[in-house]
């Protein structure tokens, strides 16, 4: 039987029993993956979690942000939708038809079995953070997906909020927002009292804009959960009814 994530992280001394218990309580109430809940509750960072799991499981860790582009024939061994659904991306095809795959859950035997059937390769799993995997999937599949669209490649990229509304429509818009933020920083600063503490420079660029969007989405999720909790307390619906509807 596979060791549970909470037990692995406890053995690695990166979380406490109280933190795991709180995250498990949150999981029972709202569902979701334990690792994502621990990260969302700021008990652990994604990077630290992946490092700990790599060490405990003996699975190689991949820093996807610093990898060279994966050849398209290798990348497309895993179709885009499956890569997104399983949080898995192909990195290397060895001569013996072993496919190295970065996964958020490298010990998930069901996912590995699915990948083996689809790719017709032996799967050699590695571990990477879910955020890095999502970024690599968005970045790597962009060109090929755009080729099947009537519009240009920019239309193949968008960011949506927790309600599914499009927040950023294209890479061009994302870059424009980053440039606007940089311009605001470069503008003459308003006069301030000499005794006032200097404010930290706000980050700019596409990465900073994405970080701001992610933070806004986290706040939206927290507000939504608080509202649902209140409705449950008021007897509008039960927790079981809510979870059943979410899982449809």
- Average pLDDT over all residues of the chain: 78
With a cut of 90, say whether residue 19 has pLDDT above it: yes
Among 3.30.460.10, 3.30.300.160, 3.60.15.10, 1.25.40.10, what is the CATH number of 64-146? 3.30.300.160
Query: What pLDDT does residue 137 have?
Result: 92
Query: How does residue 149 score in pLDDT terms, banded at 50, 70 and 90?
Result: very low
Question: By the 8 A CB rule, do 240 and 228 touch?
Answer: no
For the chain, what's the residue count? 248
With a cut of 70, say whether residue 226 has pLDDT above it: yes
Alpha-carbon span 92 to 98, nearest angstrom? 8
Domain positions in the chain are 5-57, 64-146, 158-184+204-246
What is this structure's pTM? 0.57
Query: How does residue 179 score in pLDDT terms, banded at 50, 70 and 90?
Result: low
Query: What pLDDT does residue 5 have?
Result: 79
Query: How does residue 113 score in pLDDT terms, banded at 50, 70 and 90?
Result: very high
Helix ranges (H only) for the chain are 5-11, 17-30, 34-40, 46-57, 72-75, 80-86, 109-119, 130-140, 142-146, 171-186, 206-233, 239-246
Give the pLDDT mean for 154-169. 53
Question: By the 8 A CB rule, do 185 and 201 touch?
Answer: yes
Of 56-60, 187-191, 224-228, where does mean pLDDT reach its minimum?
187-191
Eight-class DSSP state of 61: B
User: What residue has token string 């909020």?
Assistant: 161
Give the pLDDT mean for 63-85. 93
């Amino acid at each position: 039987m596979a060791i549970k994530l909470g037990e692995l992280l406890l053995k690695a001394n990166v979380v406490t029993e109280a933190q795991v218990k709180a995250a498990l309580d949150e999981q029972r109430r709202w569902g979701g993956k334990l690792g994502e809940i621990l990260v969302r509750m700021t008990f652990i960072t994604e990077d630290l979690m992946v490092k700990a799991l790599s060490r405990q499981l003996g699975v190689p860790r991949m820093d996807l942000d610093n990898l060279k582009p994966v050849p398209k024939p290798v990348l497309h061994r895993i179709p885009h939708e499956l890569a997104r659904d399983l949080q898995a991306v192909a990195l290397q095809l060895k001569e013996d038809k072993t496919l190295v795959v970065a996964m958020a859950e490298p010990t998930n035997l069901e996912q590995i079995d699915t990948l083996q059937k689809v790719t017709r390769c032996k799967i050699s799993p590695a571990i990477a953070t879910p955020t890095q995997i999502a970024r690599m999937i968005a970045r790597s599949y962009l060109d090929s997906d755009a080729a099947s669209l009537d519009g240009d490649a920019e239309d193949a990229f968008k960011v949506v909020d927790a309600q599914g509304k499009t927040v950023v429509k294209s890479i061009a818009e994302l870059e424009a927002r980053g440039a606007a933020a940089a311009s605001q920083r470069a503008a003459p600063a308003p006069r301030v009292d000499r005794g006032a503490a200097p404010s930290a420079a706000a980050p700019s660029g596409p990465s900073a804009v994405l970080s701001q969007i992610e933070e806004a989405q986290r706040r939206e999720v927290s507000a939504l959960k608080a509202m649902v909790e209140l409705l449950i307390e008021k007897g509008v619906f039960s927790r079981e009814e809510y979870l059943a509807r979410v899982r449809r």
